[in-house]
Chains A and B, each alone.
Chain A
Amino acid sequence: MTDLPSIPLVVRTRLAHATLQAVADACGADILHIKGAAVDASLRPARKNASAGASAEERAIPRVSADADVLVRPAHLENFIAALRRYGWRTLLNFDTGGGADHSAVFWHEELCEADVHRSFPGIRLRPDLAFERLWLDRGTQVIAHRPCTVPSVDAQRLVLLVHAARNRYGRECDVHYAWTDATVEEKERVCALARELHAEVALAAATGRLEEYADRPEYELWRLWNTSGARKYEFWRARIKAARDRGERIRVVANPLKLKVDVMKLQLGRNPTRREILRSYSGRLRDDLLDVRMLIGDRAGTVISSSLRRRR
């Protein structure tokens, strides 16, 4: 990957947001900037030394992120990706690289940074086109690098930050604090109502410590695992199968471990892998997956044996 020491990351991510908006405008795609530099000033901690006349944006401490995230209207995704390629972005990771129910692809621009292009957002289970339309309805504008960028409403931003925090608990306590703990009763009610509309109640509950209220929901196990340290790949795979929204998604998740993920290898190696490297990596991955399954079965068998022994005593 190209290193750009002369431009700080906090600058590059902001310039990338502005560039992504320009690409979207050029091809007529609807996009919403999420997380990172797109987060509203009211959801960020304030500087202690801010001057009295400073605006909310000037008072808020800038968020530092590794990439620029955008959510794209699913019907515009193909156009947007074609335009990204036209304007110098190249694919680092495809949509189907992750766990099967994959929500985003990663692009790279030599002079900017990575862009995480979402076709859906994990935790939002409403159909992606309907969810986007709902978020688009009450969108706002956030000026990033002096260019207007379309963003979800502040309530929706709260929800996105919380749902994201539920998947990446470590280091996200600050987001939960500003998006939830510090929110007024009315703001919390609006976020809960939006979560119901977007079918994101379980994800929101996972972020706000009420996950057990949703133990009967198919996605419960997945959110429980995200909040559990040391959960195994196989456990996630099984939870993803259970959480799949439809048959198509279930098939994709089931088949995912068998897929060749050359883009991941390319990213790790920094070049195109050879045929031999692909074969070695693929067989190694299958071996690790099998080992994971055997360990899990072993654990379960051990639990069954010990509980039957306890019963006999």
Chain B
Amino acid sequence: MTFRVPDNVAYIDGSDLGQGEVLYLTLLPHGRTVRLEGVGRQIWMIAAEGGSVAAEISELVGQPLEIVAGGVTSFLGELVYRRLLTPDLA
């Protein structure tokens, strides 16, 4: 399954503004903001670009796909539940 950024999310990656590797996601129009760091940030960024998240994370952390897949899927589910990502049905 691939994902995309919902229209009701604004985001900034701190590294674009010299503010460290922290991702800030704001739910619109309420303005509630969530911070993601480390692997969580990587997962969201790969998913937002429509990438194959588990495979890329597996490569990134140097662990077999079957080891990371469960954790990645569960975290993606959490992001979708919080409306910070949406499945790309296109």
* A111 and chain B: residue at smallest CB distance: B33
A146 to B8, CA, bound (A): 11
Give every chain A residue within 8 A of B26 (Cβ-Cβ).
15, 18-19, 111-112, 145
Q: Report whether B28 and A18 are in contact in the complex, using a CB–CB cutoff of 8 Å.
A: yes
Partner of B10, one of A8, A10, A18, A26: A18
Chain A interface residues (CB < 8 Å from chain B): 6-8, 10-11, 14-16, 18-19, 22-23, 25-26, 62, 83, 87-89, 109, 111-112, 144-147
* B25 and chain A: residue at smallest CB distance: A15
Q: Report whether A19 and B11 are in contact in the complex, using a CB–CB cutoff of 8 Å.
A: no
A25 to B7, CA, bound (A): 12
Known: A11-B19, A15-B26; 4 extra A-B contacts, CB below 8 A, are: A7-B33, A11-B24, A112-B26, A146-B11
Tell me whether A145 and B11 are in contact in the complex, defined as CB-CB below 8 angstroms, given that A8-B17, A18-B26 are known contacts.
yes
Give every chain B residue within 8 A of A8 (Cβ-Cβ).
14, 17, 19
Q: Report whether B28 and A147 are in contact in the complex, using a CB–CB cutoff of 8 Å.
A: yes
* A149 and chain B: residue at smallest CB distance: B10
Interface centre among B17, B19, B31, B35 (most CB of A within 10 A): B31
Instruction: Tell me how far the C-beta of B55 lies from the nearest C-beta in chain A, rounded to whole angstroms.
Output: 25
Give every chain B residue within 8 A of A7 (Cβ-Cβ).
24, 33, 35
Q: Which residues of B from 23 to 75 have beta carbons under 8 Å from A? A: 24, 26, 28-33, 35
Chain B interface residues (CB < 8 Å from chain A): 5, 8, 10-12, 14, 17, 19, 24, 26, 28-33, 35
A146 to B84, CA, bound (A): 14
A298 to B37, CA, bound (A): 63
Q: Report whether A19 and B12 are in contact in the complex, using a CB–CB cutoff of 8 Å.
A: no
Q: Report whether A6 and B12 are in contact in the complex, using a CB–CB cutoff of 8 Å.
A: no
Between-chain CB contacts (< 8 Å), 21 pairs: A6-B35, A8-B14, A8-B17, A8-B19, A10-B17, A11-B19, A11-B24, A14-B10, A15-B12, A15-B26, A19-B30, A62-B17, A83-B29, A87-B29, A87-B30, A111-B26, A111-B33, A112-B31, A146-B10, A146-B12, A147-B10
Give every chain B residue within 8 A of A62 (Cβ-Cβ).
17
A241 to B45, CA, bound (A): 55
